[in-house]
Amino acid sequence: MVDNELIAIAIIVFTASILVPWLKIIGLFVILLTISLNMPLSKQKLHFSYRVIEWIGRWSMLDLFVISIVVALVNMGQLLDAKPAPAATAFAAVILFTQLAAKALDTRLLWDQLEQQHDR
């Protein structure tokens, strides 16, 4: 039987390490598609989702800190040999690139398209 505490930790790690990065990527993709294809989605909701993506990005580096702490603790116990191999590097790259993409995105493009539609 699995401990309930371990299930809670697994849910937290899954959410922070897998679910949040995927949602950030999908959210940025939807915003970019809306801008480039002039899709009729609510600009206010897209702007709010952009702000959420940007806010979450600040906390994404915490996962890398947790990975380094867990590896250090496991290796100090000498029970297992844990190494943050290429997966940790790829995870750090995803975090870095999504943060850069969110910073490079100009949200004024959403509002410019809305003004152009009203001018027509």
Nearest to 12 by CA among 84, 62, 54, 79: 62
pTM above 0.85, yes or no: no
Of residues 15 and 9, more confidently modeled = 15
Residue 62 vs residues 16, 19, 29: alpha-carbon distances, Å: 9, 15, 23
Is the pLDDT score of 95 beyond 70? yes
Residue range 64-70: average pLDDT?
A: 72
How far apart are the C-alpha atoms of 50 and 105, rounded to whole Å? 9
